[in-house]
Structure 1
Amino acid sequence: MYFVEWLMRRTLTASKKDITGFEGDMKQFEKATEKYGKQYRGMQERQVSDVPSDARSIYRMNDTYMDVRTFFDEWRGGVTIGLSPLLLGLLSFPFLFLIPLLDVFFYGVWPATGDVATNESYVAAVGMWVIWFVMVAAFVYLFWIFRMECLVQRHIVVRFNRKTRKIYINRPNFAGGNQVYDWDDVVASVDPDDQVVTKQRKREILMLFFFKQRTGAEYHDVVFLGAPLRSDHELYALWEYIRRYMEEGPGSIPAPKCIPRFPWPWRSLLAPWSFLENKWAAAPWSPGMIALVVIVSPLMLIHAVAHWCSLLLCWPTYWPRQLRRESTATKRL
């Protein structure tokens, strides 16, 4: 679901009128961006981990570019579940009720019984059409929410191109749109001066910041990278994997176990499991964890089905022609 990206975009591009009451917070944020923009300049050349890892986050890699997934791919299905009754009603209502009810207007008979239509029949037929139009209006009004995970590109993809030394972000327009940034301008959510990281199980996000002071763009930008990472150790390992690929080439890192872009149904089963993975790892096969999995398994199955349906209602990520030309690969790994 792209709600977080949409919300972040709205926040970063907010006008002074929109942030009334939060001017102090925005000034502090701007000071922080200037600080980190200077402090972490050149971090692309500094090693932060001895064990680079793909962290289950690579779609494709070759000697020219590497495509990396973003964090919130598992956070989809809720909108599909919430709006599915409205959508199913919108599609089925005409066939179940509206088309048969045309007999009332054209032939003067009630379709279910064949009896002569009365005044009440005409009122009921008009009422059913009104209900359907209300459903259409509700769907149109809520369509922007529906687009957060359906009828939109299937994934946000971040491409790291060694040939051009640029980062390409491919995402829907409402979530920030396609952007191109210089590799040397990125600031990652790792501290090059602190390589003391733990393997404690917790959900981590690798964030890449593109501050306008460095990029020359009108607004700041941020992208949430990688699968749900299991520790800050894995977070640093993923950044080191990307850093070495861009600075030293694919020969300096282990070959990735690429994840498929096609929406295989069994991969959707992994989406709800990702929310329990760390808890399970902390106490595998314990009675409490087994009971928790059994209790929530129906919800996990519903989430998995909704997750898969949302993917099927989307289309594959499409790269503009110019970006495809810049990403022509000579060898795929």
Structure 2
Amino acid sequence: MYFLERGFEWSKKQLSYEEATEEYKARIRQQGQAELHTPADVREPVSNNPSNNCSLYEHNDFYIDLRTPSDEKRGLITFFFLILGGMLAWAGMATIWFAVSDFMATDRGTSWEFYIFGLTFAPLTANIALYFFLKFSIKFFRLESLTARRIIVRFNRITRKVYLLRPKHLGGIRIMDWDKTEILIDKKMSELEGTGGFVILVWDKGDGVDLQGTPTDNIEVTFIGKPTRNASELLAFWEYIRRYMEDGPAAAPAPKKLICKFPWPWLSLKAAWGLDTSFFRQSELRVFVLLNLLLWPVILIHATGHWLSLLLCYEPRFPKVIEEAGR
């Protein structure tokens, strides 16, 4: 989880603004063409069939809240961290308990081997192993636990701002100008190129501010939406956002069902399984159903870790000044 955001924040620390700008320009070029066919600005339509892509947390007359692409990619680190950490912790406590129990026994001898190995060496070894395990693995554990449960991107049509709700280590809260948004998608991509795609929005230096009103001093990037199945879905999703901001809620109506934020365990199972119901309706794709059933033990491990990861995180909330913006 947060791999995209963490990678971008890491790259910003390694590059100056000028270097980051050059890298961004290089990324929007492909072999065989001068540059991507990106929309000219936020006012340019890209699809005739807008779709919310099942990516909305909230929809009202003031704003929409959207998810980011990597929400399902969490849990395995948490699961194995807790299993291995629990085993080492149990070993550390067990060695101490057995040593003390032996020492308190009336029929126990007090040879020097017992003091060295029973009371000192074994407990010390187990607890040193636990210490180094925690020291070197906690930073990976915090990629998906003991942090914000999710990143939320808010589009406020009244203030014409895009609000990025992120943990501090991923850039923190930013308030970006909608009208200065650059959209990193290719209007003429093939259907295959849109597989697993998501919307990427970019802002130049000074196109937004932090919560204290200080202008941004580098490029800002955010990634939006559930990964799509093809280019049509990807373009339709961006068109949904664009119409909401430019034309209003009537042009981009609320979905029948919003994403639930409460960490129900069956939602984690659904995220880990990730099986598209269209597979059942197309005989040539039903082999993927069989493959998923064969991988059921792995899916259960992933789902368990996913749920534990959610329980070990806090639900992020926008500050009051952003919640009341435009009302």
Give your verdict on TM over 0.5. Answer: yes
After superposition, the Cα gap between the structure-2 partners of 1:28 and 1:137, relative to the gap in structure 1 and judged at 3 Å, is closer
| Among candidates 147, 164, 177, match of residue 152 of structure 1 | 147
Q: Which stretch shifts more, 159-168 or 213-222?
A: 213-222
Distance 1:287 1:147, change over 3 A: closer
Question: What letter matches 2:14 in structure 1?
Answer: A
Specify the alignment match of 2:174 in structure 1. 179
Tell me, yes or no, if the aligned pair for 2:28 and 2:184 is still in contact at 8 Å.
no
**Unmatched tracts of structure 1, length 5 or more:** 17-22, 329-333
Deviation at 1:133, TM superposition (A): 3.1
Q: Which runs of 5+ in 2 are unaligned?
A: 209-214
For 1:200 and 1:142, the matched residues in 2 are separated by: 35
Partner in structure 1 of residue 96 of structure 2 = 98
Does the 8 A contact of 1:202 with 1:278 survive in 2?
A: no
Q: 1:8 to 1:284 in 2, by over 3 A?
A: farther
Q: 1:93 to 1:230 in 2, by over 3 A?
A: same
Partner of 1:59: 57
* CA distance in structure 2 between the aligned counterparts of 1:78 and 1:327, rounded to whole angstroms: 40
Letter in 2 for 1:209: V
TM-score by length of 1: 0.81
Q: Which residue of 2 aligns with 1:331?
A: none
Within 5 Å, give how 1:253-292 maps onto structure 2: 253-256=252-255, 257-274=257-274, 277=276, 280=279, 283-284=282-283, 288-292=287-291
Cα offset, 1:36, TM superposition = 8.2
Distance 1:58 1:200 in 2: 23
Tell me how large the CA RMSD over aligned residues is: 3.3
The aligned residue for residue 140 of structure 1 is: 135
Tell me how far apart the structure 2 counterparts of residues 119 and 202 of structure 1 sit (CA, whole Å): 67
Aligned residues: 312
Partner residue in 1 for 2:157: 162
Q: Which amino acid aligns with 2:112?
A: N
SS in 2 for 1:151: coil
CA distance in structure 2 between the partners assigned to 1:79 and 1:118 by the alignment = 44
Separation (CA, whole Å) in 1 of partners of 2:207 and 2:323: 26
> For the structure 1 residues 287 and 57, does the alpha-carbon distance in structure 2 shift closer, same or farther, using more than 3 Å as the test?
closer
TM-score for the superposition, normalised by structure 2:
0.82
In the aligned structure 2, how far is the partner of 1:173 from the partner of 1:96?
39
CA distance in 1, matches of 2:9, 2:54: 26
CA distance in 2, matches of 1:167, 1:264: 29
1:48 alignment partner AA: V
C-alpha contact (below 8 Å) 1:201/1:282 kept by paired residues: no
1:68 and 2:66 aligned = yes
Aligned mates of 1:7, 1:119 — CA distance in 2: 54
Distance 1:223 1:277 in 2: 26
Cα distance in 2, alignment partners of residues 327 and 265 from structure 1? 36
Q: Equivalences for 1:5-154 in 2 at 5 Å? A: 5-15=5-15, 27=22, 29-30=24-25, 40-41=39-40, 43-93=41-91, 95-99=93-97, 101-102=99-100, 108-109=103-104, 115-122=108-115, 123-127=117-121, 128-154=123-149
Distance 2:218 2:237 in 1: 26
